[in-house]
Amino acid sequence: MQTLTVALENRSYPIHIGPGLIARGELVAARLPQPRAVLVSNTTVAPLYAERLTHALRAQGVAVLAVTVPDGEAHKDWRTLNAILDALLENRSERGTALIALGGGVVGDLTGFAAAVYQRGVPFIQVPTTLLAQVDSAVGGKTAINHPLGKNMVGAFYQPLAVVSDTDTLATLPPRELAAGLAEVIKYGAIHDPAFFDWLEANVARLVAREAEALTWAIERSCAIKAGIVAGDERETGERALLNYGHTFGHAIETATGYGQWLHGEAVAAGMVLAARLSVRMGLLAASEASRIESLLARAGLPVTAPALGVERYLELMGHDKKVRGGRIRFILLRRLGEALPTAEVPPDTLAAVLREDTAPGAVPARPSVHA
């Protein structure tokens, strides 16, 4: 087991990464202020892992109540949030009772937001079971639900007390979801760590083949980069915004196509390609480096062509983005592999050219979702 720390003074917390961790109830139990917890999972993950975790917690003397929510990004909304809050109130869950999120990014974001607002904040633990959640959404304290007019528009910065990433759970992950997680892994290399990007180019086949050693290293390195950035800028007033590379375009794709059609990581992959092309057209990035990003994403099994929604529709959707300031859309661009910069200084014609020429009609992810 590897353990990293997200350094946030009196709110610092450990990230444990390794095989078999769900069965190690003490990793969660040691962080709980009282021996009670509510385990939130979804209809896909609960049958696979909820019993194992519940058993491990009960062996530590922790009383566990289970709440199961529907699976999928389409359910990351008020309705599901309220279902969790209703269950907490009906079961008289208290201020000291922890919420444990067992699942992917949707379960983590929803459960974290429920923990942030129930009784103005209760303890929260992340047990991510997808690669995307293990390398990204479970780390750093962003919680949210979606609004019909924009993704993650309602939420809170709310840190967990611990993140327990059991790499064994990746064995049951559908190939499309594994690839979606790799999109964020590749992002860390592209914005922050050229050596890690090189390593990914050399090892992407091992990752796709789910070699345990390669996956563990990719998760560890991704978490270390994210933890370092979050520790320096918890509330995204500066450097943390670089983590949104590919996300301005990506969120527009997700919103336009309906949540759940494109997986988040897939939309981010296509968005990273658009942001790289924009960087090239603005003379910031070498075309060869943009090609390396596109090629690596494709080898990871990710879609690299964004859908042609039309320039107007893209601009409208991106105008709802949280990164808009003073009416201007802010983009994260690349200067070179491993170095990103935020800017609102994008010439409208150049942006329009990217949205028109670097997209394709009817572009969709390569494979159908197994979570239809």
Q: Catalytic residue numbers?
A: 120, 142, 184, 226, 236, 240, 244, 247, 251, 264
Out of 144, 179, 278, 354, name the contact with a copy of itself by CB under 8 A.
Answer: 144
Question: With CB under 8 A, what is the number of residues at the site for a copy of itself?
Answer: 39
DSSP assignment, residue 104? S
**Does 322 contact a copy of itself by CB under 8 A?**
yes
> What is d(CA 31, CA 316) in angstroms, rounded to the nearest whole number?
44
Residue 117 as a binder of a copy of itself (CB under 8 A): the answer is yes
Q: Shortest approach of a copy of itself to residue 62 CB, angstroms?
A: 14
Structure tokens at 123: 């303890």
CB 289 within 8 A of CB 334: yes
Tokens matching residue 9: 């003074």
- Inter-CA distances, 252 with 93, 200, 323, 342, 363, Å: 37, 27, 12, 18, 14
Task: List the one residue from 90, 283, 348, 368 that touches a copy of itself (CB under 8 A).
Answer: 90
Count CB atoms within 10 A of the CB of residue 305. Answer: 18
Q: Specify the residue, 50 or 106, whose C-beta has the smaller distance to a copy of itself.
A: 106
Stretch that binds a copy of itself, among 114-122, 168-176, 205-213, 218-226 (CB under 8 A): 114-122
Query: Measured between alpha carbons, how far is 45 from 130 in angstroms, rounded to an integer?
Result: 10
Distance separating alpha carbons of residues 40 and 86, to the nearest angstrom: 13
For position 26 contacting a copy of itself by CB under 8 A, the verdict is no
Those residues whose C-beta lies under 8 Å from the C-beta of residue 263, and which sit 6 or more positions away, are: 73, 176, 177, 180, 365, 369
Decide: is 150 part of the binding site for a copy of itself (CB under 8 A): yes
Q: Which residues of 347-359 are buried (b: 16+ CB within 10 A; e: fewer)?
A: eeeebeebbeebb
From 64-72, 79-87, 130-138, 304-312, give the range in contact with a copy of itself by CB under 8 A: 79-87
Nearer to a copy of itself, 29 or 170 (CB): 29
- Determine which residue in the list 45, 57, 100, 116 makes contact with a copy of itself, applying CB under 8 A: 116
Nearer to a copy of itself, 157 or 199 (CB): 157
Q: Which residues pair with 36 in a beta bridge?
A: 63
Choose, by CB under 8 A, the member of 18, 155, 307, 338 that binds a copy of itself.
Answer: 155
Binding-site ranges for a copy of itself (CB under 8 A): 34, 78, 82, 85-86, 89-90, 92, 94-96, 113, 116-121, 142-144, 147, 149-150, 152-157, 235, 319-320, 322-327
